[in-house]
Chain A
Amino acid sequence: MPDELTKLLSDLKETEALELVKKALAEGVDPMGLLGEARDGITIVGERFASGDYFIPDLIYSGEILKEIVKLLEPHFGGEKGKQEKRLGPVIIGTVAGDIHDIGKDLVVFMLDISGYEVVDLGIDVPVQKFVDAIKETGSKVVGLSGFLTLAFDSMKETVDAIKNAGLRDDIKIMVGGGQIDDQVKRYTGADAYGKDAMQAVKLTQGWIGG
């Protein structure tokens, strides 16, 4: 049954999914095929999250199950590991300077990843210059700024200003989100858009660079 792993993962059946992978590997099933099935399962999880059937814990749990599956598959990959489907992007994501919150940012990274984007995750408390450098290095067209505290308003504005001063602003779309961020903060920072949740980040990215 080719779709069994996809179904188990999308239904968040961790024990059954891992058992299935172990059994399949013992029977000599192609690990790349299993990885593809698992990824399809994650895509379904993303769709269910988008439609409001799944919530944040489901999303995080599916990622954890995928990690466990990859752990089982990895020793069987051989030389194929580098082979990956072509991805859109990259999208640069980071929590702005002064703020060390990562949960919201990680959700955005995860959702973009499973939606087919290459994501450059700069981490937390990211200095302004690091965003500018990352744009130059990767040629990215989309940047997402995350922040939880009110100090993020100014850090976001400084980051957008620095991108502008580096002469990169016209070629790039910037989205902001997290905690107390709203449309008013978006206007203040000079970003292009505000996203209320991780799904919004995906929709905005799709609108800007397709996918």
Chain B
Amino acid sequence: MEKKWEEMSADEKQEAQFQKMLAPKDPEGNDIKFQSPEAEAAYKANINRFKAAVQLKAADRVPVMLFPGMYPLAYGGITLKDAMYDYDKCVAAHRKFVLDFQPDMQFGAAGPGPGKFYEKLDYKLYAWPGHGVDPEGRSYQCREAEYMQAYEYDLLLTDPSFFFRNFYLPRVFGALEPLQMLAPMTSILEMYGVAFNFIPYGLPPVQGAFKALFEAGEEALKWAMAVGGFDIEMKAAGVPNILGGFTKAPFDTLGDTLRGTKGILMDMYRQPDKLLAALDAVTPIMIGMGLGAAQQTGNPLIFMPLHKGADGFLSDEQFKTFYWPSLKKVIEGLVEGGCIPFCAAEGGYNTRLEDIRNLPKGKTVWMIDQSDMVKAKEIVGDTLCLLGNMPSSLLHLGNPEDVKAYAKNLIDTVGKGGGFIMCNGSFFDHAKPENIKAMVDYTKEYGVY
């Protein structure tokens, strides 16, 4: 008899997840039909090669991935604005990028997001082409602010969902401002007086906000059909998606879009206990976010872009007190739930290697930006799978020979014995196509084990 999910060990759960990935299904639960027997073989080889790397083993060769920012759009001859407002164009550009360069796995076409959706809700957290950045601009950019005030920790701690619905969402979505009028769900208790709680839903501004939500939902669905269709198409062509979902380090959750960078840094000095309590409160929410996404997509790879833990940003003591403990819990919680956390160590992580090495062995992937790769291999190579490190500057400004030399060095040192995946180290919006091609082709040729 098959073992129940909750009775499985972490190894067994990971294996079950890989088996699920090897038999891809569409959203209705039907098997995806591969384009050809070759495509099916390539799909399976790509996953098995990736699996070996995650488990710190060597398969046939070093896997090679591309994790671009908005570059596929420029490569496909369209602007970010085009991609945000015409989902077919967005998909076509990503299709061309994947099929032309042939990485082992792809990252989907969801990056640009649905422009009309953001417009309908009057999204204020980011600037995007025509809305705060140049209409021809290649990327959207975050507008940092204190969307959560220094004195609002207790509000967040008492009921995070109430805080998000009544305070945070009205601040980052103009169309959702009326949601601040809603009563807490938790006041809805018994017959006497229960109707009072529902009065706000009868008011025109609130009804307007819900109308905007319905319309935005329809737009999101339209967009999701397009980018979801792209994933199925790529799988049928033999290229699996490396992104099963997304979550964050609790410190970044609070620091990026709630308190803001300066806000959270000041909280470390001015109200450390509140900050620590909030990090604790957010931790299970971040685990749930990853596990939920994996369940929805049938893909256990949960991406976690790490922002404020980089070298020099926090002191060692601050990292160990405020950043790492909650992040470690999220990573372990995800692994326990059968997921493969995929952390992007943006910036340098040279001084954090001794900390991050203490994670379950062969269960996580780490995208490395600017850290010393040889040192990383030496310190964390027996627990973590390393991915990345090809510099964005080299891909944009170097030539194919430079790229090959850099790739050779990575393969010779970090690639040794397995546990390494060739990839760019940070997201890029600009590159020379011949450099990307050199990285992929050279890895496939020289990276053979």
Question: How many contacts A-B (CB < 8 Å)?
Answer: 83
CB of A16 within 8 Å of the partner chain: no
Interface residues of B (CB under 8 A from A): 69, 127, 132-134, 137-139, 141, 143-144, 261-262, 265-266, 268-270, 312-315, 318, 391-394, 396-398, 426, 428-431
Q: What residues on B are CB-neighbors of A98 within 8 Å?
A: 133-134, 137
Q: Across the interface, name the chain A residue whose C-beta is closest to B69.
A: A150
Question: CA of A77 to CA of B394 in the docked complex: distance in angstroms?
Answer: 53
CB of A24 within 8 Å of the partner chain: no
Question: CA of A180 to CA of B390 in the docked complex: distance in angstroms?
Answer: 12
25 contacts between A and B (CB under 8 A): A12-B269, A14-B270, A55-B313, A55-B318, A56-B312, A56-B313, A56-B314, A57-B314, A58-B315, A61-B265, A64-B266, A100-B143, A102-B144, A103-B262, A149-B141, A150-B428, A150-B429, A150-B430, A151-B139, A153-B397, A154-B430, A179-B426, A182-B393, A184-B398, A185-B393
CB of A181 within 8 Å of the partner chain: yes
- Please state if B394 and A151 are interface contacts (CB–CB under 8 Å): no
- Please state if A57 and B268 are interface contacts (CB–CB under 8 Å): yes
Interface mask (A38-80 → B, CB under 8 Å = 1, otherwise 0): 0000000000000000111110110010000000000000000
Given contact pairs A103-B261, A153-B393, a sample of 9 additional A-B residue pairs in the complex whose CB atoms are under 8 Å apart: A55-B313, A56-B314, A60-B265, A98-B137, A103-B262, A151-B137, A151-B138, A151-B429, A151-B430
Question: CA of A103 to CA of B313 in the docked complex: distance in angstroms?
Answer: 11
Q: Across the interface, name the chain B residue whose C-beta is closest to A154.
A: B430
CB of A101 within 8 Å of the partner chain: yes
Q: What residues on A are CB-neighbors of B396 within 8 Å?
A: 150, 153
Q: What residues on A are CB-neighbors of B127 within 8 Å?
A: 100
Interface mask (A175-193 → B, CB under 8 Å = 1, otherwise 0): 0000111101101100000
Q: What residues on A are CB-neighbors of B143 within 8 Å?
A: 100
Select one of B141, B312, B394 contacting A184, CB under 8 A.
B394
Q: What residues on A are CB-neighbors of B141 within 8 Å?
A: 99-101, 149
Interface mask (A75-103 → B, CB under 8 Å = 1, otherwise 0): 00000000000000000000000111111
CB of A30 within 8 Å of the partner chain: no
Question: CA of A24 to CA of B152 in the docked complex: distance in angstroms?
Answer: 33
Q: Across the interface, name the chain B residue whose C-beta is closest to A52.
A: B312
Q: Across the interface, name the chain B residue whose C-beta is closest to A183.
A: B393
Q: What residues on A are CB-neighbors of B132 within 8 Å?
A: 100
- Please state if B430 and A100 are interface contacts (CB–CB under 8 Å): no
- Please state if A197 and B312 are interface contacts (CB–CB under 8 Å): yes
